[in-house]
Structure 1
């Protein structure tokens, strides 16, 4: 079993950039800290630091150990803070992973009901690739992952898919572009400047297939991983862009763009992915139930 005192000395030394600074902070001699870290290295069977000139640098094992130590001691601080508070004041912690392809407005609308339960809530949101978030979910570091699709087959990570609903797609553009595209939709998109999600987004293939089926060939001006960045380019007049119809009105008002038209043949789906088949967390229940009403 890990000696957490040894791990704490290593953690402080790594965060402070060396044993000397850790010694000053902990009021312990450098020799003591060095000896405790050596015992930890013996336990792991691998060096945590390597000497580069006069400095110490983390090895690959050291970087991995630091990432876990960060979480362990951060959780320890949170535990101490929570126990010092009365149970009535202690907020529920909801750890949510948001796949980077999920539009920010959609993510907010999906998560908002958790704050309306009448109970104190502290939400921790992490944005990353779906694969990275599912790995954290499998380690119980997240309660929920929001994604634009179910767990990919063959990923080797266990997760249970809960369909939240789906939305059609709307095309919007800055006024300067929209004025020439609001007649004869969707044929007006042929040759029009267009911004689309990049290929990491499931909508990328669906959209291109729809264009081929309609014999429409827009001028692709850019592809984006981040939908918020795509909206910013669209707002600046680089090209028209797509948004889920469920939030089209909000995007129009927020970005000062105009609606060109909407289609139902291309659908954007949204999923909640949990580590358990049956959802027991009240905040997650509120999120899923509200989403199914909104995206019905």
Structure 2
């Protein structure tokens, strides 16, 4: 198949679409004999007859139908290339590849990225995963920015730059139907009695929550652990339990999911760190995200 001549394939495609050699010759402004010879050469290369006589024109054989289907895809894509090239040249895409560590509040991440979402021709790619693989992708310059709940390991600190974007207070939320029958009580008492949903153990927030529980002598009844904060919120909204939620971005979730705020964990914060390679320090969209986050963090 390496000897396939795409010019021959194109002539065959035109003949098949026009239904005959004469109409194809008229469309291509070429001699019928030339087009016939090109199609015969394609049939010899493939080893099968592609066209057969049908009245005053031609029809596709079964082999020809298979060839035509592939040719249709190829040349339709080819016809779209000039327009795609022109669009790309006129408005180069503003590319931003972001890695998001497991357990980080997706609402907070969306709020952090919000300042650049209106950028013209933005091409945003988000990767969600564990910190170490994301660091590897960042080191290979496949990511422009990693958002994580903790700074990079010391072994990575020489080739990466990390800034703590914010230390965001954490509130506890639960579904209204789970809480409405309960009298108002201090947050510590409620968390000791209610079913609790938590981030998984490798989340930086989970470690801080456990320390906060210990400091307040709370032994929680943990009924679920989640890597994805959005999934944790969904299960909470369905009545499974109460869960922690960073204040930044929380106003977008609670009303629509009929969640009620139990209270704020005094002294408990979700940290969000922005990690970049030194080569990517001057990415304009990353700089815009960091500047907006610095301004937002003043509210906390």
- TM-score bracket, normalised by the shorter chain, equals 0.5 to 0.7
Distance 1:111 1:247 in 2: 11
**Who is 2:108 aligned against?**
106
Segments of structure 2 that go 5 or more residues without pairing to the other structure are 3-43, 47-81
Q: SS state of the match for residue 280, structure 1?
A: coil
Instruction: Please say if 1:130 is aligned against 2:139.
Output: no
**Who is 1:228 aligned against?**
230
Change over 3 Å in CA distance of 1:176–1:281 after alignment to 2: same
Distance 1:158 1:182 in 2: 50
Distance 1:248 1:221 in 2: 22
Shift of 1:248: 2.9
Shift of 1:198: 0.9
Change over 3 Å in CA distance of 1:86–1:240 after alignment to 2: closer
**Who is 2:217 aligned against?**
215
Distance 1:229 1:181 in 2: 28
Q: TM-score normalized by structure 1?
A: 0.68
Instruction: Please say if 1:170 is aligned against 2:176.
Output: no
Q: TM-score normalized by structure 2?
A: 0.67
Report the RMSD for the aligned CA atoms in angstroms: 2.6
Shift of 1:101: 1.9
Segments of structure 1 that go 5 or more residues without pairing to the other structure are 6-26, 30-79
Shift of 1:86: 5.2
**Who is 1:254 aligned against?**
256
Distance 1:85 1:175 in 2: 50
- Where do 4+ consecutive residues of structure 1 move more than 4 Å? 80-84
Bigger CA radius of gyration: 2
> In 1, are the aligned partners of 2:108 and 2:250 still within 8 Å (CA)?
no
> In 1, are the aligned partners of 2:107 and 2:248 still within 8 Å (CA)?
no
Change over 3 Å in CA distance of 1:94–1:192 after alignment to 2: same
Q: SS state of the match for residue 116, structure 1?
A: coil
**Who is 1:90 aligned against?**
92
> In 2, are the aligned partners of 1:181 and 1:188 still within 8 Å (CA)?
no
> In 2, are the aligned partners of 1:143 and 1:275 still within 8 Å (CA)?
yes
> 1:189-204 to 2 correspondence within 5 Å?
189-204=191-206
Q: SS state of the match for residue 90, structure 1?
A: coil
Instruction: Please say if 1:281 is aligned against 2:277.
Output: no
> In 1, are the aligned partners of 2:198 and 2:206 still within 8 Å (CA)?
yes
Q: SS state of the match for residue 196, structure 2?
A: strand
Distance 2:166 2:157 in 1: 25
> In 2, are the aligned partners of 1:99 and 1:145 still within 8 Å (CA)?
yes
Shift of 1:138: 0.6
Distance 2:226 2:183 in 1: 22
Instruction: Please say if 1:149 is aligned against 2:141.
Output: no
> In 1, are the aligned partners of 2:111 and 2:248 still within 8 Å (CA)?
no
